[in-house]
Amino acid sequence: MRWDIFCKVIDNHGDAGVCWRLARGLAAGGETVRLWIDDPSALAWMAPGGCKGVEIVTWNRRDAAQRAAAGPPPDVLIEAFGCDPEPELIARFAEPVRPGGARRVWINLEYLSAEPYVERLHGLPSPVFKGPGTSLTKHFFYPGFTPATGGLLREGDLLERRQRFDRAAWLAQQGIAWHGERLVCLFCYEPLALDALLAQFESAGEPTHLLVTAGRAARALPPGPARRGALSITWLPHLPQTDFDHLLWACDLNFVRGEDSLVRALWAGSPFVWQIYAQDDDAHHTKLGAFLDWLEAPPSLRRFHHLWNGMAEGELPALDDAALASWGAACAAARACLLAQDDLLTRLLRFVAQKS
């Protein structure tokens, strides 16, 4: 089938990351995909070389919508995160289907959450009452952590690749000197508790090597002394999605942020701390709480999350072997639960087949 995925990059490339993984997964299964993205610049490092079967359309080019409207409409239109596709494309999509042809399907891909409403709203129809899409119906598709949701993106060979991964070889390829010390990935916004975390690493009884990702994490921890007590630091360049996965696989503890990296941290199977995207009305507090409940996070991991996300005050729990072991056990159990479920792409294809 022909798929159009519409994506607007808000600020931190997470939307682009999710949409690219989805587009790549569809293309790997033989689908034809156009990814409409208003700012494709991040794909230069996120997905160098592109992907066979995926066409990148710069959404805000003056002639893009007109040129696309001149061709056949997609069989499936995915509106990622409520981004309002171009009216010309909606009008083309709304044209009558040839007699005997499959119905076109309009999917509203929503944000990931573990909150109870996700199961209630997943798959529900949303009739369109105005604009060129009047009389059409969108369907909500909610990623989630239970069988009653849309699931999580996961490649078919992900676990096999994870098992074959050679940490030492990958680190050497990246030019990262590693001598067996604990490795920690830092992919964050600007957490107020960052200085406390660094102080804990610096004074710890065992060495820690912190791998700082490019972008906001590097701005939160700008380059400076590479050695600070028991802490050594490496600042990384922007990594392609595949190597970002490898980074999470290589580390003993992962600090991640947003949506795409949370999912990838779950698949990595190592202990992790999630910095959730903050919302003005503090709705992210409830969202984080629902996720920690689903994870069955031990008390120290829950406490660390609250402090890391600015939802509490006090000292960070110690990142000793006992704490990381209990965190790792919770993460491993959560991953096993997710692996027993169908992935998002499998559920999406099944849903589209039912609606078309």
In tens, the pLDDT along 85-115 reads: 888 889 889 998 888 888 999 999 999 999 9
Task: Pick the closest to residue 51 from 83, 27, 87 (CA basis).
Answer: 27
Catalytic residue among 15, 75, 79, 110: 15
**Phi, psi values for residue 222, rounded to 5°:** -65, 155
Among 110, 245, 259, 343, the one annotated catalytic: 259
d(CA 349, CA 153): 12
**Banded model confidence at residue 68, pLDDT cuts 50, 70, 90:** confident
Q: What is the pLDDT of residue 333?
A: 97
Instruction: Please confirm, yes or no, whether 243 is among the known catalytic residues.
Output: no
Element (H, E) at 118: helix 117-121
Contact 203, 289 (CB under 8 A): no
**What pLDDT, in 10s, does the model give residues 300-351?**
999 999 999 999 999 999 999 999 999 999 999 999 999 999 999 999 999 9
How many Cβ atoms from other residues are within 10 Å of residue 215's Cβ? Answer: 17
Q: How many CB atoms lie within 10 A of CB 339?
A: 14
Domains present along the chain, CATH in parentheses: 2-151+342-355 (3.40.50), 158-339 (3.40.50)
181 given a catalytic annotation: no
Distances (CA, A) of 159 to 149, 165, 236, 253: 22, 10, 25, 19
**For range 243-251, the mean pLDDT:** 98
The tens digit of pLDDT for each residue in 9-29 reads 887 788 999 999 999 999 999
The set of long-range contacts for 62-70, using a CB threshold of 8 Å and a minimum separation of 24, is 64/36, 65/89, 68/4, 68/34, 68/92
Structure tokens at 186: 């830092």
pTM for this one? 0.96
